[in-house]
Amino acid sequence: MAVLMAASLVLFLVHILLSESERLPAPPKDAIYRNPAYSDEERTEDLLAYMTLAEKVGQMALIEKQSVDDMEDVASYGLGGILSGAGAKPTENTPAGWRDMVMSFDSASRASRLGIPVLYGVDANHGHGNVPGAVIFPHAIGLGASGDVDLIESIGVATSEALRATGVRWNFSPTLDLPKDIRWGRVYETFSDDPARTGPLASAYVRGLQGAGRTGVLATIKHYVGVGAMQWGSSKSDIYTLDQGTTPVSEAALRTQYLPPFEDVLAAGAQSVMVGLGSWGETKLSASSYLIRDVLKGELGFKGFVVSDWYGVYEIQGGDYAAATTAINAGVDMVMLPFEYRPFIRNVSWAVERGDIPQSRIDDAVRRILRAKFALGLFDETPVAGDLELVGSEGHRALAREAVAKSLVLLKDDADTLPLSADQFIRVAGSAADNTGRQAGGWTIEWQGVDGNVVPGATSILAGIREVASERSVIEFDAAGNFSNTEIADVGIVVVGETPYAEGWGDTAEPQLSAEDLATITRMQQRAERVVVVLVAGRPLILPASWRSWDALVVAWLPGSEGAGVADVLTGRKPFTGTLPLPWPRTTTQLPIDPVSGTANGTAPLFPRYFGLK
């Protein structure tokens, strides 16, 4: 009974709060916040002064687009952010369909009393990967292997162009996590396990993405902090083992290894930070006032806004009210709910009324969010910039192809098997040879990626080899390596690796090649003089003893849509320049590998970090 009474009181209060904002008149047309002649600071303070509590709390809500029950809610609740969770697409899943969808949320938000534009966010972590036809760049691990700051800045620019063409001005990327354990399903989203490499590369990406002035896309650095060092089996999820788990490292290790990339990229101007879904020791990251308020906003002087990760706030114990209150008091500014916004707005408004969240904390959160929106120019211009033709443009394809070539790492090359020479009889096989979905990996079209030759506009590695190899070469292909012709080819290229996955779905006790892939390699060894194995994988894989019989071994990571970039290097048009961005373990008993103290069992990895033949 008491619960029912409390609930009705809350509903009543919220009704009052919401109808209060509906009753209030719109601020004058010449209000300071509407005038670009004033500074972002002045405009923010002016707007804040017009806002009711409910309007402020609405700005703190980030909702998955499918969870918006009624388009009018965007204005009546003054929602701050909308996101497309990975794979959440418009009805017409084309670049134009994307732009129309984003613009419909944008227009809906501008219809509110205050006309505050919504911020639309996506995970464009290897290009605008949700959108069919967009160019898919190599996943971060491949870019980490390239170590090429200028290349990565250009990829940031290209990604920003594709996003802006569809009106998206917020990207939940780049990842600064540092992986210690290849059994984790998010290794490929990271640049390296080396903070000294991660900071500069991620900074370059942020510079490219955000651009100068008001023209860019807001970057998000994630996942704050200590993510990648989780202990095996510590995940709170029933399905995962490492992802969303506990980072057991000391504060000293957190500060010397995990914090520096954040410091670097904040200096490069990142304006939003996402807190991780895991825990540091006993504390959920989104509940850590120490890490968010004291360290990030205090010591590091971060002036942008902190966003929580998918449903992360509600993983804090104590029920929805307590969870939201704890996270906001800990310094979370925008909450990726990402579902029900009504109870959130109710609970947080109620918490302020009751004094459980200080008004000053709400003002601080909203100030940070509004400042970012002003800085992006969202109040003054449409979020769309540039032509839709930029999505999947030739320029982006050429850049991605260059990135692929620079990301390849050569681990073995006996008797100069590579590069291929001009008039060879070449056989190609393997599960990933003619499979653009596998090349692209997770976060492509769907959250878990797609399997098959189904990425629109993409070139498979096989197609790339056919395109690039000399006209005098003969190329024969069979995915399983079953060649009826008993003649022995000069070279056999076997492209094998992982099937796509994302997040904890990729956690696995044994990251290795399948029996089927190994059988294909063995078959090829009977049909070719020399065998080159090309790995398409999001992480180092534990190699079978038979790898020593392979003549050459190339790691292509998850190269994305431009398979011809792999062919460019195999054929010698471009040199091998990439190096391993993390150590390659010999066995899983070596895991985790700590950048300072080394492998878990004290033995040397198969290949050290930064190994790569030239």
Nearer to ligand BGC, 86 or 357 (CB): 86
Nearer to ligand BGC, 434 or 503 (CB): 503
Backbone phi and psi for residue 30, each to the nearest 5 degrees, phi listed first: -100, 25
CB 80 to ligand BGC: min, Å? 15
86 binds ligand BGC (CB under 6 A): yes
172 binds ligand BGC (CB under 6 A): yes
CB 278 to ligand BGC: min, Å? 10
What are the distances in angstroms from CA 30 to CA 46, 209, 377, 392?
12, 32, 17, 41
123 binds ligand BGC (CB under 6 A): yes
Give the tokens for residue 503: 């997040």
562 binds ligand BGC (CB under 6 A): no
For residues 280 and 248, is the Cβ–Cβ distance under 8 A?
no
Nearer to ligand BGC, 240 or 321 (CB): 240
What's the burial of 239, exposed, middle or buried (CB within 10 Å: 0-12/13-18/19+)?
exposed
For residues 468 and 426, is the Cβ–Cβ distance under 8 A?
no
CB 222 to ligand BGC: min, Å? 6
CB 61 to ligand BGC: min, Å? 15
Residues 385-424 that bind ligand BGC (CB under 6 A): none
333 binds ligand BGC (CB under 6 A): no
Q: Per 3-state DSSP, what percentage of the chain is helix, strand, and coil (rounded to 5)?
A: 40, 15, 45
d(CA 291, CA 302): 12
309 binds ligand BGC (CB under 6 A): yes
What's the burial of 557, exposed, middle or buried (CB within 10 Å: 0-12/13-18/19+)?
buried
d(CA 346, CA 368): 21
CB 85 to ligand BGC: min, Å? 5
CB 310 to ligand BGC: min, Å? 4
d(CA 542, CA 612): 17
Nearest residue to ligand BGC on Cβ basis: 172
Return the closest-CA partner of residue 158 out of 443, 399, 376, 375. 399
CB 129 to ligand BGC: min, Å? 11
Nearer to ligand BGC, 123 or 562 (CB): 123
Of the candidates 40, 309, 434, 517, the residue annotated as catalytic is: 309
Nearer to ligand BGC, 83 or 600 (CB): 83
Sign of the CA dihedral with 516 first, then 238, 243, and 403 last: positive
Residues 267-296 that bind ligand BGC (CB under 6 A): 277
- DSSP for 555-606? E--S--SBTHHHHHHHTTSS------SS-B-SSGGG-SEETTTEETTSPPPS
Helices (H), strands (E): how many in the chain? Answer: 19, 19
Q: Which of 43, 222, 397, 427 binds ligand BGC (CB under 6 A)?
A: 222
Give the tokens for residue 191: 């640049």
Give the tokens for residue 498: 């992982």
- DSSP for 31-60? -GGG-TTS-HHHHHHHHHHH--HHHHHHHT
User: Per DSSP, what are the bridge partners of residue 222?
Assistant: 175
HEC string of 340-371 equals CHHHHHHHHHHHHHCCCCCHHHHHHHHHHHHH
CB 494 to ligand BGC: min, Å? 33
CB 132 to ligand BGC: min, Å? 18
Nearer to ligand BGC, 81 or 95 (CB): 81
Per-residue x/- track, 32-61, ligand BGC (CB under 6 A): ------------------------------
Number of residues that bind ligand BGC (CB under 6 A): 9
Give the tokens for residue 293: 């308020």
Residues 568-607 that bind ligand BGC (CB under 6 A): none
Nearer to ligand BGC, 54 or 86 (CB): 86
Per-residue x/- track, 473-512, ligand BGC (CB under 6 A): ------------------------------x---------
Active site residue 148: no
If DSSP codes are grouped into helix, strand and coil, which group holds residue 317?
coil
Return the closest-CA partner of residue 475 out of 434, 522, 439, 432. 434
CB 20 to ligand BGC: min, Å? 33
Nearer to ligand BGC, 234 or 421 (CB): 234
d(CA 495, CA 335): 42
For residues 152 and 199, is the Cβ–Cβ distance under 8 A?
no
Residue tagged 């681990």 (tokens): 411
Nearer to ligand BGC, 185 or 199 (CB): 185
CB 235 to ligand BGC: min, Å? 13
Nearer to ligand BGC, 277 or 537 (CB): 277
Give the tokens for residue 97: 């369909």
User: Per DSSP, what are the bridge partners of residue 491?
Assistant: 426, 530
Nearer to ligand BGC, 190 or 347 (CB): 190
Give the tokens for residue 496: 């094998």
For residues 458 and 392, is the Cβ–Cβ distance under 8 A?
no
Interface residues with ligand BGC (CB under 6 A)?
85-86, 123, 172, 222, 277, 309-310, 503
Annotated catalytic residues are 309
